[in-house]
Amino acid sequence: MIRKIFGGAAPAVLSLVLTAALGFFSGRSFRTMHRAEPIFPGQGLTAIRLLSDYFPPLKNTHGDTEVYLFRGKEKGGNLLVLGGTHPNEPAGLVASVLLIENIRAEQGNVFIIPRANASGFTHSDPQEGNPQRFAVPTPSGPRLFRLGSRLTNPVDQWPDPAVYVNPAGQKLSGNEVRNLNRCYPGRAKGFLTEKIAFAIMELIRQEKIDLGVDLHESAPEYPVINAIVFHETSSELAALALLDLQAQGYDIRLEASPVNLRGLSHREWGDEAGIMAVLLETPNASHGRLKGKPSSALVVDGKDKFYAKASRLGWLFVPYGEEGIPLALRTARHLAALQALLGALAEIAPDKAVQIEDMPAATEVQERGVGAFLHPPS
């Protein structure tokens, strides 16, 4: 009797129904990773373009992404800001969104790509247990942002080679083929990540960019941290910006872009396009190896007892107290560095000056939090 009830067609049908329900709900949840959160540009926005406008083969691929353009009233230089080259380094994305939602260009033109590797935002790093999103508190409630992966989604680019020889000739481990910041200057007929890099190079060439700034974060145990990494075309610019930042009380250092480390934005933008190229690093515990449980709070508040202990043991390259290094501070550092770089640019090359109005002041972002300057969630 029991066998008849539990061992026949009825449980099989029930299993099928449960399978369908499980497939439907998990599939629906999974698909939301492909949906980019809305960005609400401020009054100063001139146009939204796509990266494929500069390199059409990127159209209708997961590598295509939005380019926000702010044209200044007066003539000046052209600035490119990249966030989300590595989608697991959230301060770059958040600083870019903060700029898009607040600024006006007074002099020169500003191009902002908040999700440089859009495909990397559609998945998470395997075996990390990262949350799909992190929540930034705003006065009207939490605003969600995707926490993606350092690399392009393997669904969009697979398989990886055993050894990757990038377009600049550097030999790297195979999975670096999906790391946008190893694929410059890109290949027009290469892998998707190389095409994204090529499209960004095309934007730089076609829009005659003068200064490119790539916003990153690094783990506190990584030596290149709280740093301005500069190409030799921008050594004077970076040095002036450093003085300004140190005068404001920021602990920051200069790192010259290694000549033999090829394929990175700060190297190839300068070598290939001759522009001033800078990469900024802030400390982010959420993608470090010593962290505890990954969570949205770890991304936003940056508090981690294991990093605090590692700091006490002298294992880190930045001081890391119990109070953590919150997203507000990391974003503020990016904004302060950008402002300092623009000040230095105006001094070095007044004809290429870029003047931005209504950029949230770094000190205020630090005090009031990132959410105070973000559009309310929709």
Partner 1 sequence: MPMIRLFYNLIVLYLSLHLIGYLFRWKKPWDQAGAALVLTLFLLRLFLVK
1, 3, 249, 378: which one contacts partner 1 (CB under 8 A)?
Answer: 3
Q: What is the footprint of partner 1 within residues 126-155 (CB under 8 A)?
A: 155
Say if residues 140 and 377 touch (Cβ distance below 8 Å). Answer: yes
315 binds partner 1 (CB under 8 A): no
18, 48, 188, 256: which one contacts partner 1 (CB under 8 A)?
Answer: 18
Say if residues 196 and 116 touch (Cβ distance below 8 Å). Answer: yes
Nearest one of 106, 101, 121 to 48, comparing CA atoms = 101
Number of residues that bind partner 1 (CB under 8 A): 19
> Which of these ranges, 23-31, 177-185, 208-216, 259-267, lies near partner 1 under the rule CB under 8 A?
23-31
> Which of these ranges, 24-32, 91-99, 169-177, 266-274, lies near partner 1 under the rule CB under 8 A?
24-32
Q: Report the nearest approach of partner 1 to the CB of residue 128 (Å).
A: 19
Q: Report the nearest approach of partner 1 to the CB of residue 155 (Å).
A: 5
Letters for 175-214 (x = contact with partner 1 by CB under 8 A, - = none) are ----------------------------------------
Burial class (CB within 10 angstroms; exposed 0-12, middle 13-18, buried 19+) of 46: middle
Spatial separation of the C-alpha atoms in residues 75 and 109, rounded to whole Å: 8
9 binds partner 1 (CB under 8 A): yes
Q: What is the footprint of partner 1 within residues 262-291 (CB under 8 A)?
A: none
8 binds partner 1 (CB under 8 A): yes
Residues at the interface with partner 1 (CB under 8 A): 3, 6-9, 11-12, 15-16, 18-20, 22-23, 26-27, 30-31, 155
